[in-house]
Amino acid sequence: MTAALRGPGEIRQGSRLSRRLFLSLGVPNYRRYFAGQIVSLSGNWIQIVAETWLILTLTHSGLAVGVTTALQFAPILLFGAFGGLLADRFDKRRLLMVTQVAMVVPAVALWALAASGAVEPWMVFALVFARGAVNAVDNPTRQSFVIEMVGPERVVNAVSLNSVIVHSARMVGPAIAGVLIATVGVEVCFLLNALTFPVMVMALRRMDPGQLVRPHPVGREAGALRAALRYVAATPALAIPLAMMALVSTLAFNFQVLLPLLARFTFDGGPESYAALVCAMGGGSVVGALVAGARGRASPAMLIGSSAAFGTFTLLAAAAPTLPLAVAALVLVGAASVTFAAGVNSTLQLEVEPAMRGRVMALYSVVFLGATPIGAPLAGWLAQTAGPRAGLLLGAAAALLAAGLALAALRRRPGHVRDPADGGERRAPPGSIRAGRRLSEVLHDQHAEPRPNLRAGRLAGEHVRTRGGRHRSHAPGQVDIRSEEGEHAAAEAAAHHPRPRRAGLAEPVDGALHRGR
């Protein structure tokens, strides 16, 4: 009945919004990948919870739980860059099939050990590290494979939809694991996760390789990893987002440590309080990912704004006097954090050279996931000595600092300028930060040579004859285009200084800043 009362305009508007939200699902290859990821990531979270519960049951030690988490992410910190090099050298679809099959081994081993009763803590540690080592190859390969499936015009939407899957699985997977552990035992969780990997392998096999936009594989050469580091360091459009993510991820993305402490010691709650905080942040993350996907573009303004919003909302969560207010603040924190992470991911994929994409996305994985063994103990120590709110304050300061440093790096001139040739209309100067512009174009404009003002027809101070026969001296860079000399000069200047195209994700991505510019 409600649908019948809606006008045709509202229905069309809703249809357009739906298409923007799920734009990437119109690509058959990505649709298969998306379905496989839903199953695979849910199984992954089931195993993470089961590993944590098993090690806690065996050791009754919080330190052992922390070591388990560190072993899960340490391989990405140690070997993630090498995993990105493999992604650049080999066909990513086939490499993902190999990693998915390899993931079965730790899961089946843990199932057999737990079911037989022979499991020891060191065995769990070893198998968690083995799974992390495979993930050090799998994660950068998956990150860099997205743009090959959907192309640059849909990559922002696809990255956002991936974030929706990750955060949905983060809520659904632990819930399933809790039910299984309570009813049939922890060992079933490992077996169930092992059964999810063939689903992902089948989704990859059913893809049409001819529809993938694949770069030429990188040959074996000495110093390939060092070349990637030099390339990023020399490319501000990559270095700035990676530096922002390194700072924010190390000091702000430690909610896995802080939220249980916040629930237990700040609000004197139990498991239900912790669940409320986790669900609030997870729900906000899903909403933020959908909004970012509907926007369909990544810009410097979005990166800086989402980092600043992340820091501001985290301050609100740290200052919340009651649990309901903290829950409300964490919804906003989740939305801002996933918008920032998806924006960095999308910016890197759009700006990087195709031949470097695997290694650059590996660096993203290193700073995003590999920073956990560094930041998590620091956040835990600070929460233990000064309280959980102090850990949140540290994260808020890091996000705000990242936004401020990025803004300082990107801004050329404050304010706007008034151009007399435009009739006094105010306009942003070249290089200003505005929504919809790619980061490389903002940075390129800041270092570009001044272009002649062809609307006023200006070249270096010449005297030209006006209609009344008088000579008029123009300021340096001006010439009257109504004269024959002016027309020739304007045409020559236009040939050497073409007007820049407005940025858009549909245009071909040329990658780095310093390539032919």
What are the residue ranges spanned by the domains of the chain? 20-211, 246-412+431-448, 454-498
Specify the amino acid at residue 80. Answer: G
Dist. CA 149–CA 283, nearest whole Å: 27
Evaluate if pTM is beyond 0.75: no
**DSSP calls for 28-95:** HHHHHHHHHHHHHHHHHHHHHHHHHHHHHHHH--HHHHHHHHHHHHHHHHHHHHHHHHHHHHS-HHHH
At residue 352 the predicted structure's pLDDT band, cuts being 50, 70 and 90, is: confident
Q: What is the pLDDT of residue 443?
A: 57
Residue 417 contacts residue 267 (beta carbons within 8 Å): no
Cα–Cα distance, 28 to 206 (Å, whole number): 10
CB 170 within 8 A of CB 162: no
> What's the pLDDT tens digit per position in 125-170?
999 999 999 999 999 999 889 989 998 888 888 888 888 888 788 7
Check pLDDT > 60 for residue 514: no
Asked, colleague to colleague, whether 20-211 and 246-412+431-448 share their fold, the answer is yes
Contacts for 229-235: CB closer than 8 Å, 24+ residues apart: 229/363, 231/353, 231/356, 231/360, 231/512, 232/360, 232/363, 234/514, 235/351, 235/512, 235/513, 235/514
Q: What's the CA dihedral at 394, 399, 400, 405 to 10 degrees?
A: 120
Say if residues 304 and 241 touch (Cβ distance below 8 Å).
no
CA distance 239 to 348: 9
DSSP summary character for residue 352: S
pLDDT of residue 320: 95
> Which distant-in-sequence residues (6+ apart) come within 8 Å of 57 by Cβ?
186
pLDDT on residue 270: 78
**CA distance to 249, 358, 378, per residue, from 373 (Å):** 11, 23, 9
Q: Which residue has the higher pLDDT, 64 or 500?
A: 64
Amino acid, res. 223: G
Q: Check residue 493 and give its pLDDT.
A: 47
Q: How confident is the model at residue 495 (pLDDT cuts 50, 70, 90)?
A: very low
**Residue-level pLDDT at 319:** 95
Q: Which CATH architecture has domain 20-211?
A: Up-down Bundle (1.20)
CB 154 within 8 A of CB 146: no
pLDDT above 90: residue 436 = no
Query: What CATH fold (topology level) applies to the domain 246-412+431-448?
Result: Growth Hormone; Chain: A; (1.20.1250)
